[in-house]
Chain A
Amino acid sequence: MTNYPFFYLIFPAVALGYVLFMRSHHKKKTQEYDEQYANFRAGALAQRLGLQLLKGDPSFNFMVTYANQAVARGATDDKAINIDIEMAGTPFGVPLTFKYLYRVERESGFNSTTYKTWFNCRMAASAKLAFPPFEVTSRNTSVGRIVRQQTLPDAQTHNPAVDAEFQVTTHEPALAQLLGELLPEFSTFGPAGVHLLGDGQQVSFVMNQSTAPMVPSALYYAEVMTHALSTIAQRLGG
């Protein structure tokens, strides 16, 4: 023992201290960010958007998801991560819903560990009348291309600024032309990206966990999103 130099004993203690310090620092920073972005907690967001929280934890923060204990701890074999939030209302005269589902299950085998992840986040406005299906995606985003969900033909909106910024797909040319009038409101989203899905009854803004448009960057424009979706649903389906 006496042959070991002094720093051989000091280094592990310093490393352990550093790890503990970093853990406590990370925890403190997470709390700070959670406070800083308190208006993105489910309860506060619902109030801001004129929606009612129907399901889920009102303190779940969409900007700082790891502030949630279950997310920070991670999934275990016994306990899955399950964040299921739903809010609804009619802030601009059109029924609007916001759904967020994040579920992770873990199964540990003899020589492998399997994670199963479910993720769905979208804000949807319902139209009174049915309309032809369509899909709108931003041509350029800061985190790569947006994957389309429907196979529809490209359509021109006859608004050069909109056509340059968004790719509109639909079978109905008149619908594309109408979208040419309505989509400029989504220009605010810029590089965060826009992914609109019209399924014939609802117009949804689809958000993703790791590809554009990502939840935090899209929800930064939550008010604009609710207003623009309501306007589209009103114009499309009365």
Chain B
Amino acid sequence: MSALGAPPPELPPMPCAVCGAPMIATEPQFLHQDPELACRYCGRREALPKDAAQLHRHVRLRLLQLTQAREATEAPLRTFKMMNHSWPQAIGLVALMAAYQAWSLGTHWSNLGKLEPSQAVVGFVPLAAMFGMVSGWLGMRRVFSRQLVPLLRARPPHAPGLAARCRTCGGNLPPVRAPQVSCSYCGASNLLDAALTANAAALLQQEAQEYQNRLKPWARDATLYQAPMRAFYLYGAAGALIGLLLCGFGLVLLAR
């Protein structure tokens, strides 16, 4: 058995008082509404007892809070996704500008036989920007796949044959064959990759360890989802600097 213990027991059946068929609790649309028990066969509906309705609301409130906290924490991911999709075109455009500047610089140099430092700087800036954009984009993707993909992955099933669980609320995920699935309880998007089945035991162990770690305040990082954007700026600046150095070095070699 895993470190997380046995799966929670299922609720007892709720037979209909008229036809004896199993009744289901209807899902109220809003938090202030109380759920009802409904029979799909004879159509009987009855209100849940007050304490059960309160418990139901308590659970829905908890799920709502969890969903809102997740959406707030993961908001930087929207910027990452937008940049990840649009950046190749932007890089292409800057590459064209850089190529034109380099060609213009080379033509100017070969015609006049000399090059002013200010002209070299003007020629190098687009090249450095292109290097910076490429390295920033690659760095951002690397940090996303290394640091955030494990956080977006669904939790493994408690035992083989059971459903995978939502990474946010722990609810059972619907059985689908897709790279990702949305939780029907809290709406979180869960990645389903090979690691989920190949390393299920290790992931369960890791999950238990993660709960332990969350008890330590220093282990929490509220800005973790901003890591790809931080990486973009860091790698971008480093790439631009390296690009400038390479251009300068190339120029010195050519001048000789």
A91 and B68 form a contact (CB under 8 A): no
Residues in A with CB closer than 8 Å to B33 are 50
Contact B72 A47 (CB under 8 A): no
The yes or no answer to B197 lying at the interface (CB within 8 A) is no
Task: Say if the beta carbon of B31 comes within 8 Å of chain A.
Answer: yes
- How far does the alpha carbon of A191 sit from the alpha carbon of B223 in the complex, in Å? 12
Q: Count chain A residues whose beta carbon lies closer than 8 angstroms to a beta carbon of B.
A: 17
Give bound CA distance, A220 to B75, whole Å. 14
Chain B residue at smallest Cβ distance from A50:
B32
Q: Are B69 and A226 in contact (CB under 8 A)?
A: no
Q: Report if A188-B69 is in contact (Cβ < 8 Å); known contacts: A224-B61, A227-B61.
A: yes
A224 to B61, CA, bound (A): 7
Query: CA–CA, A223 to B61, complex, Å?
Result: 8
A223 touches B31 (CB 8 A): yes
Task: Give the chain A neighbours of B64 by CB distance below 8 A.
Answer: 223-224
Q: Interface code A215-238, partner B: CB below 8 Å = 1, 0 otherwise?
A: 000001101101100000000000
Instruction: Identify which of B31, B61, B64, B69 gathers the most chain A CB atoms within 10 Å of its CB.
Output: B31
Verify if B65 is at the interface (C-beta below 8 Å from A).
Answer: yes
Is A221's CB under 8 angstroms from B32's CB? Answer: no
Q: Say yes or no for A125: interface residue by CB 8 A criterion.
A: no
Is residue A168 contacting chain B, with contact meaning CB distance below 8 A?
Answer: no
B99-129 CB mask vs A (1 if < 8 Å, else 0) is 0000000000000000000000000000000
The answer on a CB contact under 8 Å between B61 and A47 is no
A227 with B31: CB separation less than 8 A: yes
Cβ contact within 8 Å between A221 and B68 = yes
Q: How far is the CA of A220 from the CA of B70 in the complex (A)?
A: 13
Say whether A226 contacts B30, CB under 8 Å.
no
Kindly state the separation between the CA atoms of A49 and B64 in the bound complex, as whole angstroms: 14
Q: Is the CB of B65 within 8 A of A48?
A: no
Across the interface, B30 reaches (CB within 8 A) one of A47, A185, A190, A221, namely A47
Complex Cα gap A48–B29 (Å) = 8
Within 8 A of A (CB), among B26-47: 30-33
Contact status A226-B32, CB under 8 Å:
yes
Least CB separation from A224: chain B residue: B65
Return A225 CB to nearest CB of chain B, in Å.
Answer: 11
Complex Cα gap A235–B32 (Å): 18
Closest CB in chain B relative to A194 CB, distance in Å: 14
Please provide the chain A residues from 78 to 126 with a CB less than 8 Å away from any CB of chain B in the complex.
91-92
- A139 CB to nearest B CB, Å: 15
Q: Restricting to A154-212, which residues have a CB under 8 Å from any CB of B? A: 185, 188, 190-192
Q: Is the CB of A48 within 8 A of B72?
A: no
Instruction: Give the shortest distance, in Å, between B223 (CB) and chain A (any CB).
Output: 11
What's the nearest-Cβ distance from chain B to residue A97, in Å? 15
Question: With A and B bound together, what is the CA distance between A220 and B65 in angstroms?
Answer: 11
List, in ascending order, chain B residues with CB within 8 A of A92's CB. Answer: 32
**Complex CA distance for A48 and B159, rounded to whole angstroms:** 39
**In the bound complex, CA of A48 to CA of B31 (Å):** 8
Residues of A within 8 A of B68 (CB): 188, 220-221, 224
Q: Which of B174-202 contact A (CB under 8 A)?
A: none
Distance A68 CA – B68 CA, assembled complex (angstroms): 26
* Shortest Cβ distance from residue B115 to the other chain A in the assembled complex, whole angstroms: 30
A223: which B residues are within 8 A, CB to CB? 30-31, 61, 64
The smallest C-beta distance from B40 to any residue of chain A, in angstroms, reads: 27
Query: What are the residues of chain A within 8 A of B31 when measuring CB–CB?
Result: 91, 223, 226-227
The residues in B between 56 and 102 inclusive whose CB is less than 8 angstroms from any CB of A are 61, 64-65, 68-69, 72
> A226 to B31, alpha carbons, bound, how many Å?
10
A48 with B61: CB separation less than 8 A: no
A49, closest chain B residue (CB): B32
- Kindly state the separation between the CA atoms of A2 and B30 in the bound complex, as whole angstroms: 70
Chain B contacts for A48, CB-based, 8 A: 30
Q: How far is the CA of A49 from the CA of B31 in the complex (A)?
A: 7
Q: Chain B residues with Cβ under 8 A from A221's Cβ?
A: 68
Which A residue's beta carbon lies closest to that of B33? A50
Q: Please name 8 further chain A to chain B contacts, defined as beta carbons within 8 Å, in addition to the given A227-B31, A227-B61, sorted by A numbering.
A: A50-B32, A188-B68, A188-B69, A190-B72, A221-B68, A223-B30, A224-B65, A226-B31
A-B contact pairs, 20 of them (CB 8 A): A48-B30, A49-B30, A50-B30, A50-B33, A91-B31, A92-B32, A188-B68, A191-B72, A221-B68, A223-B30, A223-B31, A223-B61, A223-B64, A224-B61, A224-B64, A224-B65, A224-B68, A226-B31, A227-B31, A227-B61
A interface residues, Cβ below 8 angstroms from B? 47-50, 91-92, 185, 188, 190-192, 220-221, 223-224, 226-227
Nearest 3 A/B pairs, CB to CB: A50-B32, A91-B32, A188-B65
